[in-house]
Structure 1
């Protein structure tokens, strides 16, 4: 039950972040608040294959607290596609440093989706905390390299699994932008 509850919080955080990052809303948000973010990865892939580079200018970086839970989130949709990357840290970011995701949701996690429009299809959703049918566990890391007021930069990588035990990965990921609070 404890794992189910933690997973529910994680997926609710992702769903809320995805809801805040619809394609039409990002342009409006950027033009009205000055907030913007970019997310890139030199290499990513699904199910044993490589998809090349991930580039997103449809990204958002948020930090929020509700009900005693603080989250920092980076959400990106690949330019020209439906793939997405969602990083959720279960604490407020106040300094530079590394946060590891080691196959559970203690610190949060990273989700890589083949199609962000099909959130309920767990075979298209690869997470670092996935309890797959094969028992495979993912992991990853986010490194906040610069934090100056609401401006943030960092790096990340992940190995994630879907509900069927298939693997996805991200290598040499970077993000930069303005935190929306």
Structure 2
């Protein structure tokens, strides 16, 4: 469990640091970032849902490990998904304690990765012991691109919830 949290946290920090330090090339996306992540139903702590759009997301595939990291445009809110055993399109569980060690973090402020009140993980349970979870469906995967859908239900250390539903991702793999 701690190993998964550490791997997700490290992947999130590396991917987001790389995205936030990218240089603009005159187009709408930073150089080297060619992915878009959206969720039409996104929120925290039982508040009303908003949309999540990241036009400067990053997707990295190393071996069979796929990481999707996105910062909501104009905010410090982020979504990070780490999937293992990705070799072809398919459905990947984010349910707490899944056999593959897949997971996701939704953050209110990605610049504060150690603040347990601001970071919500599928590895945590709610205050009423409802497990975190979700699902990622990769509908297209090549050596250079990925595309799919997702939903995430995550909890912070206090058991409060965050969610991202009706999510999509598409773009180039780095």
- 2:87 aligns with 94
1:164 alignment counterpart: 158
Deviates more, 1:36-45 or 1:125-134: 125-134
Unaligned runs of 5+ residues in structure 2 are none
Shift of 1:148: 3.2
1:95 is paired with a residue whose SS is coil
Partner of residue 25 from structure 1, selected from 22, 26, 30: 22
Could you report, residue by residue, the CA deviation over 1:22-77 in whole angstroms, capped at 9, with x for unpaired residues?
Answer: 1x31646x6655x5000000110000012411011120000125xxxx42111100
CA RMSD of aligned residues (A): 2.1
Residues of 2 paired with 1:171 and 1:21: CA distance? 23
- How much has 1:131 moved relative to structure 2? 4.9
Counterparts in 2 of 1:26 and 1:172: CA distance versus 1, 3 Å:
farther
CA–CA separation in structure 2 for the residues paired with 1:4 and 1:151: 30
Whole-Å separation in 1 of the counterparts to 2:4 and 2:82: 13
Distance in 2 between residues matched to 1:140 and 1:164, nearest whole Å: 19
The yes-or-no answer on 1:174 pairing with 2:168 is yes
Report how many residues are paired: 170
Q: How does 1:25-174 map to 2 (within 5 A)?
A: 25=22, 27=24, 33=32, 35-65=33-63, 70-91=64-85, 93-104=86-97, 106-131=100-125, 135-174=129-168
In the alignment, the residues of structure 2 paired with residue 26 and residue 86 of structure 1 have an alpha-carbon distance, to the nearest angstrom, of: 21
Q: Report if aligned partners of 1:87, 1:111 keep a CA contact under 8 Å in 2.
A: yes
State the TM-score, normalized to the length of structure 1.
0.84
5+ residue gaps in structure 1?
none
Q: Answer whether contact 2:22 2:31 (CA < 8 A) is retained.
A: no
